[in-house]
Copies of this chain bind each other. A is one copy, B any other.
Amino acid sequence: MKIALAQQNYHIGNFEENSRKIIEGISKAKQVGADLVVFSELCVCGYPPRDFLEFEDFINKCYETVDLIKEHADTIGVLIGSPARNPRKEGKDLFNAVFFLYEKQVKAEIHKTLLPNYDIFDEYRYFEPAFEWNIIEFKGKKLAVTICEDIWNMGENPLYRITPMEQLIGYQPDVMINLSASPYNYAQDVVRNSLIKAHTLKYKLPMLYCNTVGSQTEVVFDGGSLVYDINGNKVKEMNYFEEDFQLFDLAELSVEDATRIKPNEKVYFSAKDVGDGVNTLDYLADEKNIDEIYHALILGIRDYFGKMGFSKAILGSSGGIDSAVTLALAVAALGKENVRAILMPSQFSSSHSVSDAEQLSINLDNPYDIVPIKNIYESFLTELKPVFKDAPFGLAEENIQARTRGNLLMAIANKFGYILLNTSNKSELATGYGTLYGDMAGGLAVLGDTYKTQVYALAKYINKPKEIIPDHIITKAPSAELRPNQKDSDSLPEYDTLDRVLYEYIEMRKGPKEIIAKGYDAALVARILKLVNTNEYKRNQFCPIIRVSCKAFGVGRRVPIVGKYLS
């Protein structure tokens, strides 16, 4: 049996476009002589459809799309993902399902058992877990079909009390097939390979794992679909961050070779397993990770614009490292002519802030303008004089500058149809070192899930072929330049320490005692954790952040604003 995997990029709720792609994939599979073509989880509607699932009308459209696709599954078997109605009165009204289509009919329906409900996932919000398990018989072969999380219940502390493959193995299947919508983080490829290899060794079956690709607002799906043979050997790792299509021969995957079976290696079940015990700073800036992050961010930008129906970006170019890296990424994602940089110096700006930013745009060959904020800032102070009276210069005056820049950027964006890219990094967002409606403005945060350490590593990565980001931007001390001679280090701990403590708290979910036990100063840890927790109100109003880590701010991290904990 020849099985094709179609790794595709869908658009949530865009049934016309999704069905067009799926039908195209079926057609391609027929051309190459596949018996069966496998798509990814919820491909019919795109993943994650979120509360659209609560509308009958949306579910009707899913069924109509399945019906449309069915007509193309005549001489070929097709596995597609779609929500399906639960015919029982008890329990939630939907399943997260896979439809097996053949001879223009729905021949079988598989339901997802393990519904992820952590981090960015909310599947138990919508779906009833499967409580019956069956294999699919097709052309003399028994297919054990599972959906994404169904295969993630391994390790010493499994999240679920049931494991679908344990139910299916009793039917003596010939192959494991998994349809996924598994999002990227820079440890995820290691975990996936580890997990799928462990499955092939445990169940002595080949496995075909088809993932989706493409970014959906903040969540990047990286593709990287995997095929392992019966001996636990990797046969194929499909492309990352782009669509791919591959054909496999089940007979070849099923040839046992006793000499090739390796003892089970260390299995990673989560990004926390991968990140545990590493040197944090090295790990954050690891070359493999940075290379992946770079491509994830490009895809994240490109898909956000494409799926929102926009082509052009604007951003504030300050001469600092964050805006420089954001600008370079945006140019790579959207094309240099589609990214406009606005330089907005004030009386507190250093001379190099403009010259560095200009040099950057000269290197990138993208359009830029200079709009000084001094006069606007002073008109604010004049009008506020009767209210402020003789109060000394302070945070309020700093924020007026940042918000004036936000207003200018949004005005130009509104006038010409740009989306404003936000340039805040994760270290700033964590500590609240930014101005709401000022430098925190924007439609999409490119670097909001990369720590300052990683922003520097990205700058070096971008400069590897040739100097694009002027060296001075990388070497000078970071500053918000909102008052004379300001430095980030006036307000924040040094980034080397800050990023390591933040990583322990945010990604690794360690509490204060555990972090201090790793050798960090107790007062410093308390100070940093308090900054994180008391600034939740700011992040709550922040735009979507392209997620590259296992714990990004945004939908995957839900913290009470009025909570009084470590604060």
**Of residues 382 to 420 in A, which have CB atoms within 8 Å of B's CB atoms?**
382-384, 386-388, 391, 394-397, 399-400, 403-404, 406-408, 410-412, 414-415
Asked if A434 is an interface residue, CB under 8 A from chain B, the answer is no
Q: Flag the segment in A9-17, A140-148, A197-205, A246-254 that touches B.
A: A9-17
In the complex with contacts A118-B125, A371-B383, A384-B412, A400-B394 CB distance below 8 A: no
Contact A563 B13 (CB under 8 A): yes
Shortest Cβ distance from A54 into B: residue:
B509
Complex Cα distance, B11 from A383, in Å, reads: 40
Q: Flag the segment in A100-108, A158-166, A171-179, A466-474 that touches B.
A: A158-166
Contact B562 A307 (CB under 8 A): yes
Q: Which residues of B contact A379 (CB under 8 A)?
A: 375-376, 379
Shortest Cβ distance from A505 into B: residue:
B55
**Of residues 12 to 33 in A, which have CB atoms within 8 Å of B's CB atoms?**
12-14, 17
Complex Cα distance, B131 from A408, in Å, reads: 58
Q: Which residues of B contact A68 (CB under 8 A)?
A: none
Q: How many copies does the complex hold?
A: 2
Asked if A156 is an interface residue, CB under 8 A from chain B, the answer is yes
Asked if A478 is an interface residue, CB under 8 A from chain B, the answer is no
Contact A308 B562 (CB under 8 A): yes
In the complex with contacts A376-B380, A384-B371, A544-B564 CB distance below 8 A: no
**Of residues 103 to 136 in A, which have CB atoms within 8 Å of B's CB atoms?**
117-118, 122, 124-125, 128, 131
Contact B414 A410 (CB under 8 A): no
Complex Cα distance, B560 from A307, in Å, reads: 11
The smallest C-beta distance from A175 to any residue of chain B, in angstroms, reads 27
Complex Cα distance, B415 from A395, in Å, reads: 7
Contact B160 A90 (CB under 8 A): yes
The smallest C-beta distance from A109 to any residue of chain B, in angstroms, reads 19
- Listed in ascending order, the chain A residues whose CB lies under 8 Å from chain B are 11-14, 17, 46, 48-52, 54-58, 60, 88-93, 117-118, 122, 124-125, 128, 131, 156-161, 216-217, 303-304, 307-308, 369, 371-373, 375-376, 379-380, 382-384, 386-388, 391, 394-397, 399-400, 403-404, 406-408, 410-412, 414-415, 436-437, 441, 443, 509, 511-514, 537, 540-544, 555, 557-565, 567
Q: A56-B514, A387-B412, A540-B544 are in contact. List 7 more A-B contacts (CB 8 A).
A: A13-B564, A52-B560, A125-B558, A387-B415, A394-B414, A403-B403, A410-B436
